[in-house]
Amino acid sequence: MVSRKYIVGNWKMNGLRDQLTNIAEIAKVADEYQAVDVAICPPVTLIAQAVTNFPGFAIGAQDCHFAKSGAHTGCLSADMIREAGASMAILGHSERRADQHETDAEVKSKAEAAHNAGLGVIICVGESEEERDAGKAVEVVCGQLEGSFPDGANVDWLTVAYEPVWAIGTGRVPKAADVEEMHAAIRNALRNLMGERAGGVRILYGGSMNGGNASELLSIPNVDGGLVGGASLTAEKFGPIIEAAAAF
């Protein structure tokens, strides 16, 4: 079973070198609550400097390509990400699935490539508002998970993040009962994919988590942490989420 909460900040397309001081402040907060695993995924331009400046603090990437090398202009392989110092990668985020038209098969290939490069993996799944209103949320999310699930997945390197697309950056949060239902469904899908080992895979909630609602969300069964967007950009906003996680 999961014993430690995992709080991951996804900076998305935010952050210049001036914002490295924000990571310094977040790292200090994380150091105060060592019972919680904390990571920041800044833009790739900041990864190497962040790793150099803050040794021991987990820095991740927001994506990687599935190929080791080749004619893929503008893309970065998992080996490149790892060489820059990243320890993990967020893959299949809803914004990439929508904006870059990433498929489940691509996310699976990326996850396998990331693992082969020595990176931890966070696979994102989530439904649109239309899919939820149609009563298809569980079907869609579990289908994404099954299609994106990497071969040989192990609790040592796999994390799943549930992010209802309609709640990302909107301030809207699903009802606790809906989050509980979905995380339970994801846990069951993981059991079907990897047996009882699934109990050790952390399932994060992503979608407008903040200092005000983190305690309630993190108290829900099978919510093992958070994938946090806008609220992860500063210690002032991210710190209370880390503190809330430390209470469990």
List, by residue number, the catalytic residues: 93, 163
Instruction: Return the number of other C-beta atoms located less than 10 Å from residue 96's C-beta.
Output: 18
Degrees, nearest 5: CA angle 63-69-72: 70
How would you label 55-83 residue by residue, b for 16+ Cβ within 10 Å and e otherwise?
eebbbbbbbbbbeeeeeeeeebbbbbbbe
CB 78 within 8 A of CB 114: yes
Distance, in Å, from the CA atom of 86 to the CA atom of 78, rounded to the nearest integer, reads 9
CB 228 within 8 A of CB 8: yes
Residue 31 is inside which H or E element, if any? helix 20-32
What lies within 8 Å, CB to CB, of 182 at 6+ separation is 137, 138, 141, 162, 164, 174
Distance, in Å, from the CA atom of 215 to the CA atom of 64, rounded to the nearest integer, reads 32
DSSP state of 1: -
